[in-house]
Amino acid sequence: MKLTYFGVDNIPMVEPGDDLVDLISEALAGMGESLQENDVVVIAQKIISKAEDRYLDLRTVEPGEEAIRLAEEVDKDPRKVQAILDESNDVVRARPGVLIVEQKGGFVQANAGIDQSNIMQGDGDPDELCLLLPVDSDASAEKIRQLIAQRHNVNVGVIINDSLGRAWRMGTLGLAIGVAGFTALEDYIGGYDIYGRELQVTQVGAADEMAAGASLVMGQTTEKTPVVIVRGYLPAEPDDEALRGVKPLIRPRDMDMFR
């Protein structure tokens, strides 16, 4: 099996309302490339959020009591803490300089994925500007998948990825926060090993493995490659609708020993 990851060059700066499918198709055409059947299109969360105008001006945020208290504890701007709380289900860890939450989509991550780097909007002060995660990353991914099918007549998978910190290990890892068109969690329950023994470890975070591989190609210091095409492997879409999207990758809270 051979998998190729290639960055889509020359995606322009994304502005609210931009049609990402058009931007990606045009950039691919500029490379002499086009989307092919069974490609997976990995898109950085940041340009999805920009296209969906998920900017938040901190000057419009009024921190409440909990945010003010928590901001002192974690030594952050109370307005930003309020924004984080607004985007979260739960606070997982709060320490000076660190605020790890369960973001509304179920992702355990620092600052609810709210980002202040590589953003600039109109004549706004970049220090006052935040970018929130998409409202529903699975829906964003599915919309892009459908637009690609309609316009280009190819069936692709879509991953929206983001760089997340993690327990036990240093360094962020690109992980899937939105998935469309294929199985995010591959399930080998009932599978057998090469000696016919029933497999013990049975679930593989396939979309995360792909998102991580793509993240390496995206790089981190510039925003020049926010889209990566993965060519060579598209796991089938699950029949069961409940198993679609990124949700199967989220460990239910009551099954999580590390909250």
Residue ranges in 166-185 that form contacts with a copy of itself under rule CB under 8 A:
166-175, 185
Closer to a copy of itself by CB, 36 or 220: give it: 220
CA distance 245 to 196: 32
Q: Does 242 bind a copy of itself (CB under 8 A)?
A: no
Q: Phi and psi for 126 in degrees, rounded to 5? A: -60, -25
Which one of 60, 150, 153, 200 is in contact with a copy of itself (CB under 8 A)?
200
CA distance 177 to 132: 13
Quote the radius of gyration of the chain (alpha carbons, Å).
19
Q: Does 188 bind a copy of itself (CB under 8 A)?
A: yes
Q: Does 30 bind a copy of itself (CB under 8 A)?
A: no
CA distance 160 to 170: 22
Closest to 117 measured CA to CA, from 11, 227, 220, 218 = 220
Stretch that binds a copy of itself, among 54-62, 137-145, 152-160, 215-223 (CB under 8 A): 215-223
Which one of 147, 149, 243, 250 is in contact with a copy of itself (CB under 8 A)?
250
| Interaction mask 87-126, a copy of itself, x per CB under 8 A | ------x-x--x-x------xx-------xxxxx-----x
SS3 state of residue 22: helix
Q: Does 55 bind a copy of itself (CB under 8 A)?
A: no
